[in-house]
Amino acid sequence: MTEGFPNRPKILRGAFVEFGLSLPPLLVVFQFNPLQLTRNRSLFVTFPGAPADEAGTSLRDYHSTVDNLLDLQKQQVVTVQEQTIGFDIRLDATDRLDDGNALAEQFGVGPQLATLELMVQPKSESMLGLVADKLLGLGSKPDGFSFTRSANPPLVLFIFGRKRVLPVNINSLNITETEFSTDLNPIQATVAVSLTVIEGRSVPYLYSKAATEVMSVLNLANVTDVANVVIPG
């Protein structure tokens, strides 16, 4: 017998997935999708020949000298910053405990938290990766393959639906543990994460950028809404 509604659409889950092969492989599928997701992109505007100090001509003064907005668009210097993303990850082992899940009974949400923590630590500090390198004789050459690979933290893909597969740097990871088992394993936790999207020519980013541009084209279906906008003649 089918439980619930048989035609109910499948709900996709967000995830962090390490890009590339290393030990231990890092993967966290969000138990609950974030209730909200904040995205920000800042732009810094200056003008040609702007003084290095705060004295002198201001941006407002410069704008007052240009009559044609298209000329202004070409002349002013705009620095576009990379996109930042922030949201909370909620972890809760209560349902798994009720179901008698052995891993949850022993460790709560500890395994998920541990994986998130390893995503912001240098891969060269990985004890499992170092052991694997020693056993397999890897990493002896500077440019050779190694499971530890780098002194930097791992490169992570933030996957949020089919249209967003973004390579990111994790800027910060703020973990709040709120419930504990009798042996002090965390049962509930909230993890606030801040990300910076790695923009460039990588396949994941170009895929996501193409999806954004396609969505913008689809917005042309709403072009008739311009009739409700007052545009000076």
Specify the pLDDT at position 225.
Answer: 78
Nearest by Cα to 157 from 102, 207, 214: 207
Q: What domain count does the chain have? A: 2
In the sheet with 165-180, reading across from the earlier edge strand, the strands are 27-29, 15-18, 156-159, 165-180, 186-197, 84-92, 37-40
Which of 28, 61, 80 is a domain's end point? 80
Burial class (CB in 10 A: 0-12, 13-18, 19+), 66: middle
Domain-located, residue 1: no
Cα torsion angle, 38, 79, 162, 170, sign? negative
Q: Is residue 171 domain-shared with residue 211, that is, in the same domain?
A: yes
Q: Is residue 21 domain-shared with residue 52, that is, in the same domain?
A: no
Q: For 43-73, how does the pLDDT look when each residue is reduced to its tens digit (9 = 90+)? A: 999 888 777 665 667 888 888 888 999 999 8
Q: Are 181 and 196 found together in one domain?
A: yes
What mean pLDDT do residues 167-192 have? 96
Q: Work out the average pLDDT over 134-140.
A: 56
Query: In the chain, count of helices (H) and strands (E)?
Result: 7, 9
In a domain, 3, yes or no: no
| Residue 1 confidence (pLDDT) | 43
Higher pLDDT, 166 or 63: 166
48 & 92 share domain: no
Pair 67, 115 in one domain: no
Average pLDDT value for residue range 3-24: 79
Q: What is the pLDDT of residue 131?
A: 59
Same domain, 107 and 158: yes
Predicted confidence at residue 70, as pLDDT, reads 93
Going by C-alpha positions, the residue among 156, 151, 113 that lies closest to residue 129 is: 151
Residue 134 lies in a domain: no
Residue 141 has pLDDT above 90, yes or no: no
Span 188-213, pLDDT tens digits: 999 999 999 999 999 999 999 999 99
d(CA 214, CA 233) in angstroms, rounded, equals 31
Under DSSP, the state recorded for 123 is G
Average pLDDT (128-132) is 57
The amino acid occupying position 50 is A
Residue 147, pLDDT score: 53
Q: Tell me what percent of the residues of the chain surpass a pLDDT of 70.
A: 82
> What domain range is 23 assigned to?
15-41+82-119+154-218
**Within this chain, do residues 54 and 104 fall inside the same structural domain, yes or no?**
no
Mark whether 59 and 172 lie in a shared domain: no
d(CA 18, CA 126): 14
**Mean pLDDT for all residues in the chain:** 86
